[in-house]
Structure 1
Amino acid sequence: MRRRSGKGEGTGDPGGGSVESVLDELYATPPPEFTARREERAAAARTAGRKEDARLIHAARRPTLAAWAANLLARSEPEESRRFLELGRELREAHRSLDPAGLRELSAQRRRIVTALSRQAAGLADEAGHRLSQGALREVEATLRAVLADPEAAERWSGARLAVSLTPPSEFPSDTAPAAPAKPGPPGEPAPARSRAKDELADRRRKRREELAGAEQEAERAAERLRDTRARREDAEELLRRTGEEHDRAREEVSAAEERLRVAREDLDGTGRRLKEAQEEARTAGGAVTGAEREARTAARRVDRLAARGR
């Protein structure tokens, strides 16, 4: 089981972290902030030229509140999580060996620990500013029961990256140990008849249990699909909101740029007019200089002539 802090990692350099560290950070992030941070990290990876990393980061699914709380428990309480996983291994082994005494003892531990850890997860979520509803708390409990019953579920939870709650399998051992063999009935009742009646009753009960388990599984699957669909809808709504904001900002920037362009064109027109006026003044001044130069030359020649006559 990987050890993590519940505070999140890799926030200093979103573009430079590995995909694993970014995913760890994302699944330590409260669900309302998940989508924005995921898009930020994916954009940073794209900017850094890591297109495949950006694709993997963008594919991360936003967790439900209950799944996030279960992740938070795995990250924040590594020692308790390790002992919980060990209890699950012991329970599964006791069930395989059909050890009634072991099942009774471990099942009692199971109920106490699932309740305690569920409350602990709710407390951690509350400290992070997100109170769990009763429905979310039941989902956390279901996830923890699945972790005890199913080694694959245990592995998924230990990674602390659940996007939805886990569903315990229907074949998980019940909270009570197998019943002891029935004692023989009264001598007056024929044994085969008693046996057939008990077999038929047991068969009917077994079928009802199977039907109930099947219905519960289908209800859990439907609930999980609903949670998943709601999470995707929330992601889409969040993406729509952020894209709308970006569109508004881009439109404002275009309007500002168009205004700057209009002012610049007015300045260009004004400087063009002033340039023409200056050119005209320069031409007029040039003509005046030429005339003055002619007058000066004429006056100089006259002075020379008068001076020559005086000699």
Structure 2
Amino acid sequence: MQRKGGRRRDPDGQDAEAVEQVLDELYATPPSAFVPRREERAAAARTAGRKEDARRIHAARRPTLAAWAANLLTRSRPEETRRFLELGQALREAHRTLDAAGLKDLSALRRHIVAVLSQQAAQLAREAGQRLSPTAQREVESTLRAVLADPDAADRWAGGRLETSLTPPSAFPSAFPSGTAPPEPARTGPRASARPKSPRTASGTRAKDELAERRRERREERERAEQEAERAERHLRDARAVQADAQESLRRADDELGRVRETVAAAEERLRAAHEDLERAEGERREAEERERTAADAVAGAEREARASARRVDRPAGRDR
């Protein structure tokens, strides 16, 4: 049944697309917040009467930190993810045609690109508030190596819902021992010994054509791999430039913080001295008030004595008249 707006409902009327969006959201959530977010979304589905949705949401397993970082890389870097998946397909194909020297070059290229992308995953995790331990970093690299070697692992990683890190196969698919030639393409029909012999010139021409075709394919694979490596190098340079800018901003912020702290310390010292001056002035004022009261009392006493003396002086003069 098709809903208005293009969303599909599953047979029991539940919004399947909404469930997928919830699961995408959960696997983009840091592991420390995964379980509370999952229970919140499952409870909302149950409250809305969507029991099957709630069951699916509740069944989602919390990813390890390394798996979450690999999921974060997939969701945050879609273009790099697409190119990395294409590179894996090209490398698996190249292993069927390259010679030992070419395989050695490809192995070095794989290690380099995996290291670059794992550093990007660690940077994304730090930006999201999570720091990868050395063990988690190695698990991210293991997942990326598995994506290059195994198409099933590539599909799982591309879905962005890994629960645990992936383990690459012990040997790269279609690889052959060092120093041996790549296998010849499968032939149908009777064995070579039973085929009618061809003229020597025709056989030599076919061999040259096949060799030229294999060389052309190897050259094209190498060129594609080198282009991927160059793009990865550019991304790494851009990331390092961003990191350098952030470090410079942090240094300037530290300098400004130091200046502000010095200003605050000087202001606090001035405030302390002002408090001391205020306390001293208040003490002096209290002393002055005490002296003023003492002086006022003395003046009042002197005035009383003067009035009494004046009265004594005036009385005898009144009696003589």
Calculate the TM-score normalised by the size of structure 1.
Answer: 0.50
Per-residue CA deviation, residues 138-157 of structure 1 (Å, 9 max, x unaligned), is 00000000000000000000
Alpha-carbon shift at residue 167 of structure 1 (Å): 0.4
Letter in 2 for 1:50: R
What is the match of residue 27 of structure 1?
Answer: 27
CA deviation profile, 1:163-204 (whole Å, cap 9, x unmatched)? 0000001122699983257xxxxxxxxxxxxxxxxxxxxxxx
Question: Which structure has the bigger radius of gyration?
Answer: 2
Q: What residue number does 2:248 align with? A: none
Q: 1: distance between equivalents of 2:99 and 2:85?
A: 20
Instruction: Tell me if the contact between 1:28 and 1:72 (Cα under 8 Å) persists in the aligned partners.
Output: yes
Match of 2:184 in 1: none
Partner of 1:171: 171
| Separation (CA, whole Å) in 2 of partners of 1:156 and 1:144 | 11
Deviation at 1:100, TM superposition (A): 3.6
Q: Deviations over 1:24-70 (max 9, x none)?
A: 00000000000000000000001111100000000000000000000
Where 1:18 maps in the other structure, the secondary structure is: helix
2:151 maps to which residue? 151
1:107 touches 1:175 (CA, 8 Å); kept in 2?
Answer: no
Q: Is the 8 A contact 1:100 1:178 kept in 2?
A: yes
SS of match in other structure, 1:55 = helix
* Structure 2 counterpart of 1:66: 66
Which amino acid counterpart does residue 28 of structure 1 have in structure 2? A
Match of 2:57 in 1: 57
1-structure distance, mates of 2:23, 2:176: 40
Determine the structure 1 residue equivalent to 2:124.
124
Q: Percent identity?
A: 73
For residues 28 and 42 of structure 1, the distance between their equivalents in structure 2, rounded to whole angstroms, comes to 16
> Can you give the 5+ residue segments of structure 2 that lack an aligned partner in the other structure?
1-14, 182-321
The residue aligned with 2:112 is 112
TM-score w.r.t. the length of structure 2 is 0.49
Structure 1 residue identity aligned to 2:110: R
Q: For the structure 1 residues 16 and 175, does the alpha-carbon distance in structure 2 shift closer, same or farther, using more than 3 Å as the test?
A: closer
Q: Which residue of 2 aligns with 1:39?
A: 39
Question: Residues 105 and 174 (structure 1 numbering): CA distance in 2 closer, same or farther, change over 3 Å?
Answer: farther
Residues 270-285 of structure 1: matches in 2 within 5 Å?
none
* Mapping of residues 259-298 of structure 1, within 5 Å: none
Alignment-derived partner of residue 287 in structure 2: none
8 Å Cα contact 1:91-1:107 kept in structure 2: no
Unaligned runs of 5+ in 1: 1-14, 182-311
CA–CA separation in structure 2 for the residues paired with 1:71 and 1:44: 25
